[in-house]
Structure 1
Amino acid sequence: SSEGTVRNSAGDNMKMELLNILRGEYSDPHTSIFYYRLDDLKEVGDPSTWLKAQPNLGATVSYETYQRDVERAEHVPAARNDILAKRFGIPMEGYTYFFTYEETLRHNRQDFWGMPCSIGVDLSQGDDFTAFTFLFPLSRGRFGVKTRCYISERTMLRLPGATRQKYEEFLQEGSLMVLEGTVLDMMNVYEDLEAFIADCEYDVRCLGFDPYNAKEFVTRWENENGPFGIEKVIQGARTESVPLGEIKDMAEDRKLLFDQSMMTFTMGNAITLEDTNGNRKLLKARRENKIDSVAALMDAWVAYKLNKDMFD
């Protein structure tokens, strides 16, 4: 398989395991590894080194093709990282990916039992991810982060092998729940989430939600918990840009304390589209590149900022 631009994906995890074998960190004499890549970015401009990354150069692919891609990488920044990864085996992050690899690395395991928090809600049509992210204000400008996601049993069964392996990891850590049925019943989701909050004794003081498909859930939440601290977070570049920038700053400073692979996965998938005014909107490159926990984190952050007095 060629190198990619998405860190923490199923393929990236397999590559890291093979690299551990190559480094001698553990022995596996039954696995044969052929790893082709340039040793350094400086070699991209030297055609005499390209055979290291592509042993079929001059046979199944021409030097001219590689030369055209090198020139394109120099003049089209958006294509640069993909070319460096696919042609030269140099692991890069996509040009528009929002978080760096270092920002997606998990912290040590945290327990926020009984603590006050804001919750962000990102609901689906029923056959896709539904995500809830809890944001816990801590000292020195830091915030604890926990996420809990839901998919239907049918969605889980239809996953391809590599993706299913990744989802099994989420199941084991408790960040993903699979509910019976073809589509998610939001009232079943509500009741499971309610039991989870009670079990952890989280003190939820405000809720931010994307209005898409959220009416039934939010109406029940308001009836059972009161109308205070419920904030609608409209999606779009004009409204998302500021909270996304603030979340990015906290991620850079490692002030978002998360310990779940689900957060690493969704942060690694997050890209942003920038309009002519410099406003950014959260997106994903492909349907399977889930970003729901990050979207819910943004909703939780907006609700927290609008209700800081509830945390005094």
Structure 2
Amino acid sequence: MKLTKEIQDSIPFQYANDVRSGKITTGKYIKLAVDRFFQWIDSAEKDGYHIDHNSGMHVIEFFEFFLKHTKGPLANEPVILSPYQQFTFYNIFAWKDENGNRRINHVYEKVARKNGKTAGLAGLGLYCQSFDDEEGAEIYAAATKEMQAKVCWEQAHDFVFKGIGLRKIGFKNTQREIRFEHRERNGNVRKGNFRFLGGDSKTQDGLNPSLAIIDEYHAHKDDGVKEVLESAMGARQNPITYVITTAGFNTTSVCKAAEDVYKDILDGHKIDNHTFIMIHDLDEGDDWEDPANWVKANPNLNVSVSMKYLKREYTKAINQPSKIPNFKTKHLNMWVDAAETRIEDHIWMKSDKKIKLANFIKNGCAGALDMSSTTDLSSLGLVSNPDENGIIDILPLLFCPSDTIDKRSKEDKVPYRFWKDLKLKDYIDFEGTDFSEDNFWEKLPVLIATHGNQIDYATIEDYLQKLEAIFLPKWWEYDRWSATQLVQNMTEKEIEMHPFSQTISHFSEPTKQFEKHAYAAEFRHGGHPILRWMMSGVQAYEDPNENIRYVKNRSTKRIDGIIMTIMALAGTITPEEDNNESKYNHEEFTL
């Protein structure tokens, strides 16, 4: 295939040549993507394809001519695609067969955050809606949740809102879709719609997508949303599925499995000449702490993401190691096994001084309960307000049916029977109280075995009332789905109970506060052995909006006591108001 000087001097070709020569630093898989591009050129005639240079450049020119930045220091300046973006979009639209149909109908792009993906895909959606020769074009920005899907769509909405040129050619915004209608010189009317779709959308029927943008693929538990859209593309001549993502925490996810296939294609082990692949990764063996390697995952370095910003995020991660997995996945595109310990034991045990009971009375406190199924662990406890040194005390009570202790010991491989015989008083500082000789504290075990083979909720009620009488907590946080009868009983006794929603958005802020205090050694938990064991089993699930919630890892470890502690901590933060809900149930705390 003959390439003119104009073609070879274009930015997409310059990018490919600069990657090939090493002038642009990239990882292995971008080099392989460029090699594949040149291989396609060499075999184009044999394979029945050619490069339509004008079509490849048209999408690039659309950005500069029609789109203006909507925020930040570049606001109102034309959007000029970076070389790596131009190379990607050029390949999608330039490669055609003898009938003029596109070669590429599937794209997988893995790129770190802040590298211009939202603006790039929003602009791509508007282009495909208006200039892609698809009758009745339907563009969908899709994600696991509508909220995430709207991120790309809202950027497109902003482009139209601030783009006079876009509105002149027929774009119009509505509340849930961007519409396009343009009458051509021959009298034909070209129409298109741009919508957002989440796995939680009320309806996924009646779809006929011409472009499906699958955002943050790493967060998808399965291919449900993707398959709904792809299965609806059958009537389209040149549909595109564009999958874009960072790395994530689940190394067994559909995204990671698909990426392994894409890497096999680039490595030459598998063949798929209709999928275009751009994986911006560090190479195996690269030192992730060396800033010289970070550009491999950040092709827009010092354009939309600065080295100063990345170094700042790196420093935060090093100072608070629980943030390292997030830095690796979001900024370096490194897959991280979620089973990695969230807060390492040596960090947790910096707060192992004995629990000061006097502080619950002197400084005030809040309680929480995390009720389990009938045969599992349940937890009940208090978290104090900070003392004059900013230290917060944690008092946990853990419950297990006595008849299941041996079974639990075998399953969980931890000494439940030993814990049942330990006394909680050995982890408590009684100074400032007259409780040390009290029969209740004298006999209280670390693990409370309730009678029979199921949790005895009456026993838990008795302990809650005892702690209520001693410490007068502000209120008790509870999961409304698991403690209905107990809450009703306590409410009848005029004990204040607060429902705590178990959604990730409501857990996120108190969980982040919990981590902040743990890393600053601002807790006092006495080295409680069950809490210590539970902490070692904690991993964090993070959604695309950086909300986090603790979940247990793949082992049999349990985290009930940690969840209870976070709920009680939220209770101490919530101001006293007339209602009886945690403040984290309110919309303004939905992050």
Query: What TM bracket, shorter-length normalisation?
Result: 0.5 to 0.7
- What amino acid is aligned across from residue 521 of structure 2 in structure 1? R
Contact persistence 1:170–1:262 (CA under 8 A): no
Contact persistence 1:120–1:132 (CA under 8 A): yes
Report whether the alignment pairs 1:262 with 2:520: no
- What amino acid is aligned across from residue 523 of structure 2 in structure 1? L
Match of 1:275 in 2: 543
Match of 1:182 in 2: 453
Contact persistence 1:206–1:307 (CA under 8 A): no
Per-residue CA deviations over 1:20-77 (Å, capped at 9, x if unaligned) read xxxxxxxxxxxxxxxxxxxxxxxxxxxxxxxxxxxxxxxxxxxxxxxxxx95998954
Give SS of 2:474's match: strand
Q: Flag the 1:283–1:72 CA change in 2: closer, same or farther, 3 A.
A: farther
| Map 1:264-303 → 2, pairs under 5 A | 264-286=532-554, 288-303=556-571
Match of 1:99 among 324, 335, 343: 343
Contact persistence 2:380–2:398 (CA under 8 A): yes
Match of 1:156 in 2: 405
**TM-score, with structure 2 as normaliser:** 0.35
Query: Gaps spanning 5+ residues in structure 1: where?
Result: 1-69, 82-93
Indicate the structure (1 or 2) with the bigger Cα radius of gyration. 2
Percent identity over the alignment is 13
Alpha-carbon distance between aligned partners in 2 of 1:160 and 1:72, rounded to the nearest angstrom: 40
Q: Flag the 1:287–1:219 CA change in 2: closer, same or farther, 3 A.
A: farther
How far off its partner does 1:171 sit?
Answer: 4.0
Match of 2:472 in 1: 203
Contact persistence 1:112–1:136 (CA under 8 A): no
- What amino acid is aligned across from residue 185 of structure 1 in structure 2? D
Give SS of 1:124's match: coil
Match of 2:378 in 1: 130
Alpha-carbon distance between aligned partners in 1 of 2:405 and 2:512, rounded to the nearest angstrom: 33
| Map 1:1-312 → 2, pairs under 5 A | 71=284, 77-79=335-337, 94-95=339-340, 97-105=341-349, 106-113=351-358, 115=361, 116-137=364-385, 138-161=387-410, 163-165=413-415, 168-169=418-419, 171-173=421-423, 174-195=445-466, 198=469, 201-227=470-496, 230-259=497-526, 260-286=528-554, 288-307=556-575
Contact persistence 2:416–2:447 (CA under 8 A): no
Alpha-carbon distance between aligned partners in 1 of 2:547 and 2:463, rounded to the nearest angstrom: 36
Contact persistence 1:273–1:283 (CA under 8 A): yes
Per-residue CA deviations over 1:254-290 (Å, capped at 9, x if unaligned) read 1111111122122221111111111112100146211
**Structure having greater relative contact order (Cα 8 Å, sep ≥ 6):** 1
Quote the RMSD (CA, aligned, Å).
2.8
How far off its partner does 1:100 sit?
Answer: 2.4
Q: Flag the 1:73–1:282 CA change in 2: closer, same or farther, 3 A.
A: farther
Q: Flag the 1:180–1:245 CA change in 2: closer, same or farther, 3 A.
A: same
Give SS of 2:572's match: helix
Per-residue CA deviations over 1:115-171 (Å, capped at 9, x if unaligned) read 132111100121101101211122233211110010101220213457342551364
Give SS of 1:78's match: coil
Contact persistence 1:171–1:177 (CA under 8 A): no
Contact persistence 2:552–2:558 (CA under 8 A): yes
Per-residue CA deviations over 1:88-131 (Å, capped at 9, x if unaligned) read xxxxxx43x32122232152223304713211110012110110
